[in-house]
């Protein structure tokens, strides 16, 4: 991802070069001018396998995303309690990068060189993970399921060891754009987006369907929590629909600012910011000591449209959602289970599934082979790709509408598409249930 701060960009680039110049080869897999050797079992013993992740446990993204690693850890603890994977327990090591690309470089180096991880799993954030993408591939570390929808994760020629997971921002935005054009036709549209590849890639998808309807494009910087100017511009431009390609804190800030000035657009929120339980917590926090204190957080969310690709905790009929609730109750850290927890839990199940398919004679090469040959059958209700030529992960989204009181209504079943100008198509994909999917033991 391109960071708009020249100083930070230069710092990250310098640190990345320093990492590459001084790296000792990560347990001997890579040396100067040598080819990457994947026929190694770094981090693997007879009874355990070490995996790592960089996550925002503190900093601006922590309120929305700390639950990702909490959810993943709960699933890995569950898997270990079932006997692990092919007899090995998963040793899940998470380092805090505070959503700061410079810190991501430091903690990734620690995980690779000191912890000697077998694989990086679910490294979170586009601006953060982009800074270690080359390093992981050059060190021969499988880079599995980055927690971001950036297009960069699906580039098998440039980064053959990186396998995307999240529906990419352009695919998701295409489906949002088509939905708006068909169901909110002739309404003025405003885009609110993070000022990086999240915003750029999302606009590329939305514009395929909405370019003529757009009356305002407003961005935010993740370190500047004030959206008063952006929301004022949407109101001035008479935007009736706001498409928010935003992390949760900025979804909540935008909604509160709109309510403060009496502006009532239709909010369409992408999967990265559409966790309603997380938003309720943020809204309650942000309204303390304001005129809105005491207003139920749920009231701000009523009618919000959300695109998603995973099981959702609001759906009592989804057996994976109920399974995750049970797993977190037994193995989690307490508190309310959110869809952000489910993000990490779904990711962990799918990694464990690939690890199981990699077999007892576990090497980095056998994991890559498993990823590229895996017949993915859930938990998500959306098809998934990690083939030799396509590391794109989830292929589409569905649309739900949140209703005050905590329920959701499915208003468009899963649809899939590409990142270019291809058709958006319905899918009949049906995931296997928790008792049928082979991911532990």
C-alpha to C-alpha distances, 80 to 123, 203, 341, 344, nearest whole angstrom: 21, 42, 18, 16
Cis check: omega of the bond before 379, within 30 degrees of 0: yes
Model pTM score: 0.86
In the CATH hierarchy, which fold is given to the domain comprising 6-166+328-394?
Rossmann fold (3.40.50)
Residue 278 has pLDDT above 90, yes or no: no
Reported as a single tens digit per residue, the pLDDT across 118-154 is 999 999 998 899 999 999 999 999 999 999 888 899 9
For residues 347 and 31, which has the higher predicted lDDT (pLDDT)?
347
Reported as a single tens digit per residue, the pLDDT across 174-210 is 999 999 999 999 999 999 999 988 899 999 999 999 9
Q: Return the closest-CA partner of residue 366 out of 118, 80, 152.
A: 118
Region 301-326 average pLDDT? 94
- For residues 164 and 393, the answer to whether their CB atoms sit within 8 Å is yes
CA distance linking residue 364 with residue 141, whole number of Å: 8
Reported as a single tens digit per residue, the pLDDT across 2-51 is 333 333 333 334 334 333 333 333 333 433 345 799 999 999 999 999 99
CA distance linking residue 152 with residue 158, whole number of Å: 9
Predicted pLDDT at 406: 84
Termini Cα distance of the chain: 38
In the chain, CATH 3.40.50.2300 sits at 6-166+328-394, 169-308
- For residues 246 and 256, the answer to whether their CB atoms sit within 8 Å is no
The share of the chain scoring above pLDDT 70, in percent, equals: 92
Predicted pLDDT at 7: 36
Region 42-71 average pLDDT? 94
Paired sense of beta strands 396-403 and 305-308, if any: antiparallel
Model confidence band, residue 239 (pLDDT cutoffs 50, 70, 90): very high
Residue 432 has pLDDT above 90, yes or no: yes
Region 287-311 average pLDDT? 89
- For residues 32 and 21, the answer to whether their CB atoms sit within 8 Å is no
Residue 360 has pLDDT above 90, yes or no: yes
pLDDT averaged over the chain? Answer: 90
Does domain 169-308 fall into CATH 3.40.50.620? Answer: no
H/E stretch holding 90 reads strand 89-96
Reported as a single tens digit per residue, the pLDDT across 82-123 is 999 999 999 999 999 999 999 999 999 999 999 999 999 999
Predicted pLDDT at 34: 55
Q: For residue 191, what are the contacts with CB-CB under 8 A and spacing of at least 6?
A: 199, 202, 203, 206, 214, 216, 217, 218, 242, 243, 245
């Amino acid at each position: 991802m391109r960071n708009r701060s020249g100083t930070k960009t230069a710092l990250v680039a310098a640190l990345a070069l320093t990492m590459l110049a001084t790296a000792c080869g990560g347990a001997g897999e890579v040396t100067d001018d040598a080819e990457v050797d994947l026929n190694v079992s770094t981090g693997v013993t007879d009874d355990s396998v070490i995996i790592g992740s960089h996550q925002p446990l503190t900093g601006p993204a922590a309120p929305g995303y700390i639950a990702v690693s909490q959810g993943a850890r709960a699933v890995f603890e569950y898997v270990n309690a079932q006997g692990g994977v092919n007899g090995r327990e998963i040793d899940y090591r998470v380092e805090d990068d505070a959503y700061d690309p410079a810190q991501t470089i430091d903690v990734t180096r620690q995980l690779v060189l000191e912890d000697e991880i077998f694989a990086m799993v679910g490294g979170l954030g586009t601006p953060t993970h982009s800074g270690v993408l080359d390093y992981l591939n050059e060190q021969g570390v499988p880079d599995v399921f980055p927690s971001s929808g950036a297009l960069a994760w699906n580039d098998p020629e440039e980064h053959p060891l990186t396998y995307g997971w999240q529906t990419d921002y352009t695919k998701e935005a295409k489906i949002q754009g088509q939905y708006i054009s068909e169901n909110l036709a002739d309404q003025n549209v405003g885009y609110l987006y993070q000022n990086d590849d999240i915003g750029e890639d999302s606009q590329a998808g939305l514009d395929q369907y909405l370019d003529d309807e757009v009356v305002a494009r407003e961005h935010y910087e993740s370190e500047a929590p004030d959206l008063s100017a952006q929301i004022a511009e949407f109101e001035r431009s008479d935007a009736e629909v706001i498409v928010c390609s935003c992390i949760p804190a900025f979804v909540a800030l935008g909604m509160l600012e709109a309510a403060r000035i009496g502006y009532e657009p239709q909010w369409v929120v992408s999967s990265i910011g559409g966790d309603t339980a997380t938003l309720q917590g943020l809204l309650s926090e942000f309204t303390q000591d304001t005129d809105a204190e005491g207003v139920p957080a749920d009231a701000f969310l009523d009618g919000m449209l959300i695109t998603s690709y995973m099981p959702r905790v609001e759906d009592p009929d989804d057996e994976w959602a109920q399974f995750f609730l049970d797993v977190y109750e037994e193995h989690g850290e307490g508190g309310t289970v959110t869809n952000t927890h489910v993000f990490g839990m779904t990711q962990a199940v799918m990694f464990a599934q690939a690890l199981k398919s990699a077999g007892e004679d576990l090497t980095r090469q056998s994991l890559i082979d498993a990823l590229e040959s895996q017949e993915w059958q859930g938990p998500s209700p959306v098809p998934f790709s990690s083939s030799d030529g396509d590391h794109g992960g989830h292929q589409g989204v569905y649309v739900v509408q949140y209703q005050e009181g905590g329920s959701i209504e499915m208003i468009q079943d899963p649809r899939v598409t590409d990142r270019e100008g291809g058709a958006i198509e319905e899918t009949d994909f049906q995931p296997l249930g928790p008792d049928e999917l082979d991911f532990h033991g």
